[in-house]
Amino acid sequence: MHATEHYRRLISMYAAAPINQIYQPTLTVGEGEAEIIIELSEQLHHSAGAVHGSVYFKMLDDAAFFAANSLEPEFFVLTASFTTYLTRPVVSGPLRAVGKVVSQTRTQFIAEAVAYDEQGREVGRGNGIFVRGKAPLKEARGYND
């Protein structure tokens, strides 16, 4: 399978994930990189009126995850660990997370992601270790759509 077809299938798989019905994100994927965009709404706020940290985590983890899975054409990768740093509160607008693989071995990927507000300011970052799982991508919901 050509790499661009794999990227298209990853995007389809992401769209098919039930959790994404809540966030309505968009995903783009390239070789060793991915970008997630979520249009923020009050539904994603905590009680003090800013976006809940779980939204940052999801975007950063997803961007890093898909950067890693872009380099693995057969198996679903798994997040083994992920550290998140929230550096600036966000209330509205599009939130964008960009993930990149920074190191790769035969069995694992190390990827970083940075989140930006609509002014392009960094609002969070994270890094994680991702490993090849045993579940074939062809069996993942949406991958073959």
**In order along the chain (145 residues), what is the average pLDDT of each group of 10 residues?**
91 97 96 97 94 96 98 96 97 96 96 97 98 96 93
Structure-derived torsion over alpha carbons of residues 30, 36, 37, 40, reported in degrees to the nearest 10 = 180
| Token output for 20 | 């994404």
Nearest residue to 126 via CA among 71, 65, 44, 76: 65
Q: Where are the alpha helices (DSSP H) in 17-143?
A: 20-23, 53-69
Nearest residue to 136 via CA among 68, 76, 78: 76
**Residue 2: per-residue pLDDT:** 84
**Residue 145: per-residue pLDDT:** 85
The model scores a pTM over 0.85: yes
**Does residue 68 contact residue 111 with C-beta atoms inside 8 Å?**
yes
**Residue 117: per-residue pLDDT:** 97
Residue 62 phi/psi, 5-degree rounding, is -60, -45
**Does residue 115 contact residue 59 with C-beta atoms inside 8 Å?**
yes
Q: List C-alpha distances in Å: 15 to 18, 23, 88, 104, 107.
A: 8, 10, 28, 26, 26
**Residue 3: per-residue pLDDT:** 85
**Does residue 32 contact residue 101 with C-beta atoms inside 8 Å?**
yes
Q: List C-alpha distances in Å: 131 to 1, 13, 36.
A: 21, 18, 21
